[in-house]
């Protein structure tokens, strides 16, 4: 009824704020879930992750729950022949400060994480 999704919307889910007993609760709901009168529906903005360094197509990519470092690198076209695969790290904001986290390819990443693939010097 609202005219559909924009290109910036997270298309797989909606947030619904519902007042029950004078208390507002916001919950994530499936797209097929029934709504009640006075529900407030929000289509959240698409979350992204970033991949840079020695990958074939560095850039930003849509985030999905359970996304691993390996999947993010695959989205970026895979490692280049100059990549130091074992030195891959993730930059993540924790309590407002960017921190570097050592990861392996099976590590799960979070929205707004930056996957950094450094160059191998050998």
Q: What pLDDT, in 10s, does the model give residues 99-119?
A: 999 999 999 999 999 999 999
Q: Which residues of 76-85 are buried (b: 16+ CB within 10 A; e: fewer)?
A: beebeeebee
pLDDT, greater one: 89 or 42: 89
pTM (2 d.p.): 0.71
Q: How far apart are CA 101 and CA 14, in angstroms?
A: 31
Q: How far apart are CA 98 and CA 80, in angstroms?
A: 26
User: For residue 4, what pLDDT is reported?
Assistant: 75
Q: Are 9 and 46 in contact (CB under 8 A)?
A: yes
The reply to whether CATH 3.40.630.40 applies to domain 48-117 is no
Q: Could you read off the pLDDT of 10-57 as tens digits, one per residue?
A: 777 788 999 888 899 998 888 888 888 999 888 888 889 999 999 999
- 59 - beta bridge partners? 51
Domain ranges of the chain: 8-46, 48-117
Taking the CA atoms of residue 119, residue 120, residue 121 and residue 122 in that order, the dihedral angle to the nearest 10 degrees is -160
The SS3 assignment for 114 reads strand
């Amino acid at each position: 009824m609202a005219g559909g999704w924009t290109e910036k919307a997270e298309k797989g889910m909606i947030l619904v704020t519902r007042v029950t007993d004078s208390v507002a609760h916001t919950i994530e709901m499936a797209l097929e879930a029934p709504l009640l009168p006075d529900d407030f529906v929000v289509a959240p903005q698409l979350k992204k992750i970033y991949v840079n360094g020695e990958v074939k197509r560095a850039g930003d990519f849509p985030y999905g729950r359970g996304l691993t470092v390996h999947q993010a690198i695959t989205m970026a076209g895979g490692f280049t022949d100059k990549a130091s695969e074992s030195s891959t790290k993730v930059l993540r904001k924790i309590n407002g400060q960017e921190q570097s986290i050592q990861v392996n390819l099976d590590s799960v990443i979070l929205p707004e994480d930056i996957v950094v693939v450094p160059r191998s010097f050998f």
